[in-house]
């Protein structure tokens, strides 16, 4: 069964390094799964941070309703190693969840209501990452997870010096 993985993000990539890096891993991932990169416009203007988050979550909701499983990438989410991410993807697949969504919110994050609606939360890092770097890290980790599942040599873990 093939997987369709969507990386859904608020905001557009603008930095050259992020655009090029994401393209590189998007190309590599074609051999493993169908990848969709979906960008939702971030809210500009004279809104409060809470109002911006609410509007962005409404926009996200329209996309996410078509997916089998949704994971919000949130600073307070569950930590995942690369091998745990691979196992999670494999588990989703075994449970016939073919359409998986990994969601990166905007600068103001997700509303509390939105987080309740989508209870799977993972964190990318204990560090605070710029939005564009977070997207690049996420797509690289998906590629790494797929190579782990295929037992390919890209992932090197546990090496000591």
| Residue 86 falls inside a structural domain | yes
Q: Residue 26 and residue 34: Cα distance in Å, rounded?
A: 9
pLDDT digits (tens, 9 = 90+) for 68-124: 999 999 988 999 999 999 999 999 999 999 999 999 999 999 999 999 999 999 999
Dihedral of the CA atoms 94, 95, 97, 102 (nearest 10)? -80
| Residue 51 falls inside a structural domain | yes
Mean pLDDT of 126-152: 93
- Smallest Cα–Cα separation from 153: which of 142, 26, 144? 144
Stated pTM of the model: 0.91
| Residue 155 falls inside a structural domain | no
Q: Three-class SS string for 15-63?
A: CHHHHHHHHHHHHHHCCCCEEEEEEECCCCCCCCHHHHHHHHHHHHHHH
Asked whether 144 and 155 are in contact (CB, 8 A), the reply is yes
- Smallest Cα–Cα separation from 10: which of 40, 30, 44? 40
CATH number at residue 102: 3.40.1280.10
pLDDT band of residue 161 (cuts 50, 70, 90) is: very low
Q: Residue 108 and residue 40: Cα distance in Å, rounded?
A: 14
Share of the chain above pLDDT 90, in %: 86
Domain with 124, as residue range(s), is 4-149
| Residue 160 falls inside a structural domain | no
Q: How many CB atoms lie within 10 A of CB 80?
A: 18
Q: Residue 32 and residue 103: Cα distance in Å, rounded?
A: 20
| Residue 131 falls inside a structural domain | yes
Number of compact structural domains in the chain: 1
pLDDT digits (tens, 9 = 90+) for 11-40: 999 999 999 999 999 999 999 999 999 999
- Smallest Cα–Cα separation from 12: which of 139, 143, 135, 129? 135
| Residue 161 falls inside a structural domain | no
């Amino acid at each position: 069964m093939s997987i369709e993985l969507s990386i859904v993000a608020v905001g557009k990539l603008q930095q050259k390094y992020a655009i090029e890096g994401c393209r590189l891993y998007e190309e590599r991932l074609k051999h493993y799964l169908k990848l969709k990169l979906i960008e939702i416009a971030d809210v500009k203007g004279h809104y409060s941070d809470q109002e911006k988050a609410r509007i962005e979550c409404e926009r996200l909701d329209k996309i996410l309703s078509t997916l089998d499983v949704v994971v919000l990438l949130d600073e307070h989410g569950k930590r995942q190693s690369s091998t745990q991410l691979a196992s999670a993807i494999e588990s989703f697949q075994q449970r016939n969840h073919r359409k998986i969504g990994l969601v990166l919110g905007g600068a103001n994050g997700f509303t509390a209501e939105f987080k309740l609606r989508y209870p799977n939360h993972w964190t990318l890092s204990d560090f605070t990452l710029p939005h564009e770097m977070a997207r690049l890290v996420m797509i690289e980790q998906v590629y790494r997870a797929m190579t782990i599942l295929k037992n390919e040599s890209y992932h090197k873990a546990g090496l000591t010096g």
